[in-house]
């Protein structure tokens, strides 16, 4: 009778040991997984960090940067930190975003998020009236422009100045977002700012924060012996600008203006959609801007057929003209709709999207870059005017002593006179051809 020999005892022990190890490992990993999930679910501060990482991961315009900086590993290391409060979460998010090397992708604490929304959607903001960017040649914060009638303008701070310190802390240490945050505050409170000028002069100014009336659209009529010209200044692109711009154009047309001076000096941008809407009012079925997102897709935005004003134009720009203002200026220049006069513009060609996080905070994420209709990249380069002006800025834009506006006025008058001569020649030609 044939029988099978039983497995030897050594083999059975080895098999039992392997099974036990496998069960133990599964148990450990399952327990750890459940523990991590449970901690994340219970920790609001860590969830804030994870939400911020996810929004950036899904929206940031340059995903190749993620591989370069090991973006997933950064998330893992950040979530391993002790993060128990909202402030610790904000600091952790700042550390997490720093390797992206994009000052415009940033965490916005509740106060900063509310103030930024107010400046985009409201008509006034508390602060010193500075619009800031990052200096390409250093890690310092640079003044893009000052708001008209603001404490900063009254103190003589101008576009191109560098913010060295705010209340004794260097702007290099603070970074762009925190520098802007420290400059804002309750109306009546003061802040000490150390400024360095382009000539190298360093000075301290004690600024008192107050409510600054943004007044985004301002107009006036300019008249001489021969012509009536409209002057229209846009200080920033808030939500209300397209409607206010249309109202201003209608008012100027009722005053029978023959040409228009559009003043975008020291307009550092705002809502891109508002800048595009203004371009739409001035262009007829023409490309306004091309956007390039993370997938490399370029979408040309085309203006509608109807225009609100089709007369001759001059657009004034300077080194404080940035972002949405450059989109508008570039669309007018590339389509031959308006002559650009002034200085080379700032050169901010990146578009940010604002996203809400928990506890009333938010995050700004660079989601796309933009190009002018002819494919010119504005980022870091800016717009070069058709006619450069080497003139000092006026103390008040649009005033009688504003030489930039006077130059634009004379140029428009010459265009109008050429049009009149051309019309007269056509009329004479028609008369000669009559039987």
Q: Which residues make beta-bridge pairs with 197?
A: none
The single residue listed with the structure tokens 């692109």 is 237
Count of positions (residues) in the chain: 435
* 322 within 8 A of 11, measured Cβ to Cβ: no
Is 40 known to be catalytic?
no
Q: Backbone phi, then psi, for 165, in 5-degree steps?
A: -145, 150
Name the 3-class secondary structure at 126.
strand
323 is catalytic: yes
Q: How far apart are CA 93 and CA 74, in angstroms?
A: 10
Q: Are 352 and 327 in contact (CB under 8 A)?
A: no
Locus of tokens 């057929």: 305
CA atoms within 13 A on the CB side of 258: 17
- From the list 102, 112, 334, 393, the catalytic residue is 334
Q: Is 142 annotated as catalytic?
A: no
Q: How far is CA 65 from the centre of its chain?
A: 20
Catalytic annotation, pick one of 119, 274, 323, 338 = 323
User: In terms of DSSP H, where are the helices of 43-132?
Assistant: 44-59, 64-69, 71-79, 86-97, 110-121
> Quick one: tokens of 230?
């409209």
Q: Across the strands, what pairs with 162?
A: 142, 196
- Closest to 141 measured CA to CA, from 112, 166, 160, 163: 163
Q: What is the DSSP string of 359-408?
A: GG-EEEEEEEEEE-TT--B-TTT-PPPSEE---PPPSSTTSTT-HHHHHH
Of the residues 181, 348, 355, 369, which is catalytic? 348
Distances (CA, A) of 173 to 7, 125, 132, 152: 71, 25, 16, 22
Query: Which residue reads 């107009």 in tokens?
Result: 219
DSSP labels, 56-77: HHHH-S-THHHHHHTHHHHHHH
Kindly tell me the sign of the dihedral angle through the C-alpha atoms of 275, 276, 281, 284.
Answer: positive
Sequence-ordered list of residues with C-beta below 8 angstroms from that of 253, at least 6 positions apart, any chain: 309
Cβ 233 vs Cβ 398: under 8 Å: yes
Active site residues: 323, 334, 348
């Amino acid at each position: 009778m044939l029988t099978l020999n039983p497995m030897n005892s050594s083999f059975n022990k080895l098999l039992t040991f392997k099974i036990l190890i496998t069960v133990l490992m599964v148990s450990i990993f399952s327990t750890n997984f459940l523990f991590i999930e449970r901690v994340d679910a219970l920790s609001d501060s860590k969830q804030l960090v994870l939400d911020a990482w996810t929004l950036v991961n899904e929206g940031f315009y340059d995903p190749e940067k993620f591989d370069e900086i090991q973006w997933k590993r950064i998330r893992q290391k950040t979530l391993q930190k002790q993060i128990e409060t909202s402030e610790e979460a904000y600091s952790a998010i700042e550390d997490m975003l720093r390797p992206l090397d994009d000052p415009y992708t940033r965490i916005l604490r509740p106060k900063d998020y509310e103030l930024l929304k107010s400046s985009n959607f409201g008509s006034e903001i508390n602060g010193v009236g500075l619009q800031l960017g990052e200096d390409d040649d250093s890690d310092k914060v640079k003044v893009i422009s000052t708001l008209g009638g603001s404490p900063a303008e009254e103190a003589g701070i101008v576009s191109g100045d560098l913010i060295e310190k705010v209340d004794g802390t260097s702007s290099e240490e603070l970074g762009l977002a925190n520098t802007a945050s420290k400059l804002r505050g309750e109306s009546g409170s003061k802040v000490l700012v150390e400024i360095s000028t382009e000539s190298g002069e360093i000075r301290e100014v004690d600024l008192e924060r107050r409510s600054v009336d943004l007044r985004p659209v301002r107009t006036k009529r300019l008249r001489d012996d021969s012509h009536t010209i409209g002057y229209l200044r846009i200080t920033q692109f808030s939500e209300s600008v397209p409607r206010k711009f249309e109202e201003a154009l209608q008012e100027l047309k009722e005053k029978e203006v023959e040409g228009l001076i559009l003043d975008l000096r020291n307009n550092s941008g705002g809502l891109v959609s508002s800048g595009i809407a203004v371009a739409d009012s001035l262009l007829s079925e023409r490309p306004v801007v091309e956007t390039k997102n993370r997938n490399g897709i370029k979408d040309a935005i085309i203006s509608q057929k109807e225009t609100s004003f089709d007369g001759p134009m001059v657009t004034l720009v300077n080194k404080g003209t940035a972002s949405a203002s450059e989109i508008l200026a570039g669309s007018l220049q590339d389509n031959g709709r308006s002559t650009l006069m002034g200085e080379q513009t700032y050169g901010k060609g990146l578009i940010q999207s604002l996203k809400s996080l928990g506890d009333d905070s938010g995050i700004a994420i660079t989601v796309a870059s933009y190009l002018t209709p002819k494919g010119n990249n504005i980022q870091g380069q800016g717009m070069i005017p058709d006619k450069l002006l080497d003139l000092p800025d006026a103390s008040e834009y649009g005033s009688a002593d504003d030489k930039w506006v006077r130059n634009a006025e004379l140029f428009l008058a010459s265009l109008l006179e050429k049009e009149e001569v051309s019309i007269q020649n056509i009329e004479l030609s028609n008369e000669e051809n009559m039987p």
